[in-house]
Amino acid sequence: MKSAGIIVEYNPFHNGHEFHIQETRRQSQADVLIAVMSGNFLQRGEPALVSKWSRTKMALHAGVDIVIELPYAFAVQKAETFAHGAVFLLNALKCSSICFGSERGELLPFIQTHHFLHQYTEQYNDWINTYMKKGLSYPSALNNAFQKLNPTEDAVDLSKPNNILGFHYLNAANHINKQIKFMTIKRKSADYHDEYFKDSTIASATAIRKSLQQNSSLEAVKSFIPDTTWMELNNYKENFGQFHHWEDYWPYLQFRLLTMESDELHSIYEVEEGLENRLLKAARQANSFLAFMELIKTKRYTWTRLQRICTHILNNCKKVDMKNTRKDPNYIRLLGMNELGRLYLNHVKKELPLPLVSKVSAFPREMLQRDLIASSVYAHGLPEPKKSEFLNLEFKQPPIYFRSNHISNR
């Protein structure tokens, strides 16, 4: 059986994602579609709007056959590490191809850019260091360094988030398995960070989240998401009473910061020398997460990186924790599948290089510790008694199983 992979967050799943799935199936001609998806905290350093279980259901409804979790140690990371973890897991599941979205939908510029940077690696790294010393953020330093090398006109625009991720997917595969075939599709209409609705049926996940945060009405986003996504969002809100936003976690983040010494804060992953004092001072002054972020932002740190740092503080994720994390994922966490997905897993199970985790209690806790902590922290965005209900979900919830026309918890 031939399988294709996609790397997703679905925060939330929308019409553009549905197009991605359809095009991946068409271009790859694969029998099975596998999605590796971030868990409850995402690459941009924010809590997912709804849980990974709800987003898994959205994916299965849309035609994905298998959904696995990208572990926290790779999900809440810069693009390079995020891409490596995702490609590694898809390769472990025997995916022969990977399809990603990009600004132009052309693969050749990615390949040419990869070869170009490989040829000028030393100069590229020197320019990156030069721009970093000037106080630029890492993404800005990367883009400026790339432009300094005078790339050809058909090179990939590495200032665009999806292009950056796509480039790193190819780069990761070059180290993991050069035989993986890549495909890319052009993003439809909405830009990655668009905050407003500009089209009748296509909107960015950012715009959808902003709308839900401002008025929480699902009617306002109905035309931009499949009916099944609308149903899952509605079910989640009815069951848990709300969606998850950073402001829900601000009291916990502030408490963490106000009870930490400078040395302890410096031990948190991604916190660099000097930033801890800025964080501690802002925690005493701010009365909301947004106000806190406005106080700590600088030219050197992107908003996304600062959010990731806040996520690591919230989850008490330390430098030593990440140092002890293996370079590669060491398990495959199954979140959901349909009948075809189950058949595929039975077909490849004996060949998998990593253990397939379907029941958390059956595996050593330390193996999944970072993900278990993240799920516990995520639950604290909810009021009681839903918080306690959610806390137990990580241990009780089996993989979601889609049987023909309905979804079950097996």
pLDDT in tens, 296-328: 998 888 999 999 999 999 999 999 989 877 789
Q: Is the model more confident about 365 or about 79? A: 79
The top-scoring range by mean pLDDT among 203-212, 276-285, 362-371, 395-404 is 276-285
Question: How large is the average pLDDT for residues 56-85?
Answer: 97
pLDDT in tens, 338-359: 999 999 999 999 999 999 999 8
Q: Is the pLDDT of residue 82 over 50?
A: yes
Q: Give the chain as a 3 state SS string.
A: CCEEEEEECCCCCCHHHHHHHHHHHHHHCCCEEEEEEECCECCCCCECCCCHHHHHHHHHHCCCCEEEEECHHHHCCCHHHHHHHHHHHHHHCCCCEEEEEECCCCCHHHHHHHHHHHHCHHHHHHHHHHHHHCCCCHHHHHHHHHHHCCCCCCCCCCCCHHHHHHHHHHHHHHHHCCCCEEEEEECCCCCCCCCCCCCCCCCCHHHHHHHHHHHCCHHHHHHHCCHHHHHHHHHHHHHHCCCCCHHHHHHHHHHHHHCCCHHHHHCECCCCCCHHHHHHHHHHHCCCHHHHHHHHCCCCCCHHHHHHHHHHHHCCCEHHHHHHCCCCCCCEEEEEEEHHHHHHHHHHHHHCCCCEECCHHHCCHHHHHHHHHHHHHHHCCCCCCHHHHHHCHHHHCCCEEEECCEEECC
Question: How large is the average pLDDT for residues 35-64?
Answer: 98
Query: How would residue 197 be classed by pLDDT, with cut points 50, 70 and 90?
Result: low
Q: 16: annotated binding-site residue? A: yes
Q: 187: annotated binding-site residue? A: yes
Q: Looking at residue 192, what is its pLDDT? A: 47
Q: Looking at residue 92, what is its pLDDT? A: 98
Q: Is the pLDDT of residue 410 over 70?
A: no
Q: Is the pLDDT of residue 3 over 60?
A: yes
Q: 17: annotated binding-site residue? A: yes
3-103+227-244+329-408 — its CATH code?
A: 3.40.50
What's the predicted TM-score (pTM) here? 0.93
Q: 151: annotated binding-site residue? A: no
Q: 7: annotated binding-site residue? A: yes
Question: How large is the average pLDDT for residues 197-215?
Answer: 78
Q: 20: annotated binding-site residue? A: yes
Taking the domains of the chain in order of start, what are their residue ranges?
Answer: 3-103+227-244+329-408, 246-324
Question: How large is the average pLDDT for residues 48-73?
Answer: 97
Q: Looking at residue 132, what is its pLDDT? A: 84
Q: 101: annotated binding-site residue? A: yes
Q: 292: annotated binding-site residue? A: no
Q: 12: annotated binding-site residue? A: yes
Q: Looking at residue 200, what is its pLDDT? A: 64
Question: 29-38, 77-86, 141-150, 212-221: which has the minimum mean pLDDT?
Answer: 212-221
Query: How would residue 214 be classed by pLDDT, with cut points 50, 70 and 90?
Result: confident
Q: Looking at residue 88, what is its pLDDT? A: 98
Query: How would residue 409 be classed by pLDDT, with cut points 50, 70 and 90?
Result: low
Q: 105: annotated binding-site residue? A: no
Question: 32-46, 203-217, 370-384: which has the minimum mean pLDDT?
Answer: 203-217
Question: How large is the average pLDDT for residues 95-104?
Answer: 96
Q: 162: annotated binding-site residue? A: yes
Query: How would residue 363 be classed by pLDDT, with cut points 50, 70 and 90?
Result: confident
Q: Looking at residue 407, what is its pLDDT? A: 62
